[in-house]
């Protein structure tokens, strides 16, 4: 009798497993069939096909004419997209709402309505639409990003960070989310946390790169900071200035001066900053001028300056008999400007 019960239990489990597997396969077949049907409908509607192609090409007026001829339900959404691109927000709003009524691209439509109302200056309604988009699709990253930005504007930094982190839980490769996290950390003054994000953020963004170079200087990570600068960003004057500071702090003052000389020759400006240091009354700049002489200039009194000659690791200060070692130049400069 016991064996009989075990046999029936085995058969029951096997039957349940087969039933569950069959249900899953049936669901997969239904999904595939629905996708095939949608593609079939889409491809059969030539005006819709034409409209999408023209929209991708940026030919908005021609695309709109094609979508107006289309009987495919998704054409309503694309009409809204075009009206928004053309700046006709009232018409765009009308068609996004219609798209929602048809349950076509509802999350995207709510998101787009949020952008429209934000553009109108109604932040509260914009936020409501973004939250509705997330009710439909909790993984809608653009809505999470928008809400994070909205909280950032309001200086609710922790709430802002939570939205960005939710987006990163969905897609760890979204650079714009890492950039946003970096910006929040920067605003909070969390320099070491910012530095840890250097491999995640977009280094071709000048603002981010400049801030990373400054953070590298503060944390004295000079060699790593130098390696951060992509070759295509070395034509940016502000980035080059921070890079020269990084080079100088590594003992590469001659290289920094050479860079400054090239910038002066290329830009037509009469000077370029090579290094800076100190703070307040002891703040100073090392400045290369178009006479090819490097000057130590005091921040509190720009008229107070000393010409320098750089020879490898030795710095000759004009007016002084002894030379100053390159490693001693920062402390020498602070003392000179303080007195």
Contact 209, 235 (CB under 8 A): no
Question: Residue 12: pLDDT band by 50, 70, 90 thresholds?
Answer: very low
User: Is 235's pLDDT higher than 90?
Assistant: no
Rg (CA), the chain: 31
pLDDT recorded at residue 325 = 82
Q: What percent of the chain has pLDDT over 70?
A: 87
Q: What pLDDT is stored for residue 321 in this prediction?
A: 72
pLDDT averaged over the chain?
87
CA–CA separation, 85 vs 95, rounded Å?
13
Three-state secondary-structure class, residue 107: helix
Three-class DSSP category at 228 = helix
pLDDT at 66 over 70: yes
pTM as predicted: 0.80
Q: Select from 123, 115, 105 the least CA-distant residue to 143.
A: 115
How many Cβ atoms from other residues are within 10 Å of residue 321's Cβ? 6
If you search the block for the tokens 């921070």, which residue do you land on? Answer: 242
Structural element, H or E, at residue 130: helix 123-136
Helix (H) or strand (E) holding 310: strand 305-311
Average pLDDT over residues 130-153: 98
Phi/psi of residue 301, each to 5°? Answer: -145, 85
CA distances from 225 to 40, 253, 256 (A): 54, 16, 14
The predicted pLDDT at position 298 comes to: 93
Residue 60 · residue 85 · CB < 8 Å: yes
- Residues 31-55 have pLDDT tens digits of 454 444 345 445 568 999 999 999 9
Q: What is the pLDDT of residue 311?
A: 78
Task: Catalogue the E-assigned strands of 145-293.
Answer: 271-277, 284-289
pLDDT of residue 4: 42
At 320 the pLDDT is: 77
- Summarised one tens digit per residue, pLDDT across range 123-137 is 999 999 999 999 999
pLDDT at 193: 98
Residue 158 pLDDT exceeds 60: yes
Question: 266 or 203, which is more confident?
Answer: 203
Could you tell me the pLDDT band of residue 323, with boundaries at 50, 70 and 90? confident
């Amino acid at each position: 009798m016991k064996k009989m019960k075990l046999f029936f239990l085995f058969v029951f489990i096997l039957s349940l497993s087969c039933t569950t597997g069959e249900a899953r396969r049936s669901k997969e077949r239904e999904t595939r069939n629905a996708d095939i049907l949608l593609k079939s409908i889409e491809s059969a509607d030539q005006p819709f096909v034409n409209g999408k192609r023209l929209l991708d090409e940026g030919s908005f007026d021609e695309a709109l004419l094609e979508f107006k001829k289309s009987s495919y339900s998704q054409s309503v959404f694309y009409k809204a997209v075009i009206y928004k691109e053309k700046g006709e927000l009232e018409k765009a709003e009308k068609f996004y709402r219609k798209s929602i009524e048809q349950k076509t691209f509802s999350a995207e439509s709510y998101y787009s309505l949020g952008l429209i109302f934000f553009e109108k200056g109604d932040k509260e309604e914009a936020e409501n639409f973004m939250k509705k988009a997330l009710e439909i699709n909790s993984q809608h990253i653009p809505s999470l990003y928008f809400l994070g930005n909205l909280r950032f504007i309001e200086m609710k930094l922790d709430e802002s960070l939570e939205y960005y982190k939710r987006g990163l839980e969905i897609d760890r490769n979204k650079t714009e989310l890492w950039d946003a996290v970096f910006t929040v950390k920067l605003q909070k003054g969390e320099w070491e946390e910012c530095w840890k994000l250097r491999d995640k953020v977009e280094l071709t963004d000048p603002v981010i790169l400049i801030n990373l170079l400054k953070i590298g200087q503060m944390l004295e990570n000079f060699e790593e900071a130098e390696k951060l600068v992509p070759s295509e960003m070395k034509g940016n004057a502000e980035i080059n200035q921070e890079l020269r500071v990084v080079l100088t702090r590594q003992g590469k003052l001659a290289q920094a001066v050479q860079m400054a000389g090239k910038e002066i020759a290329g830009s037509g400006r009469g000077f370029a900053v090579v290094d800076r240091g100190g703070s307040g009354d002891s703040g100073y700049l090392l400045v290369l001028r178009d006479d090819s002489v490097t000057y130590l200039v005091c921040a509190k009194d720009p008229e107070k300056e000393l010409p320098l000659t750089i020879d490898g690791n030795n710095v000759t200060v004009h007016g002084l008999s002894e030379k100053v070692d390159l490693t001693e130049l920062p402390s020498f400069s602070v003392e000179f400007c303080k007195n």
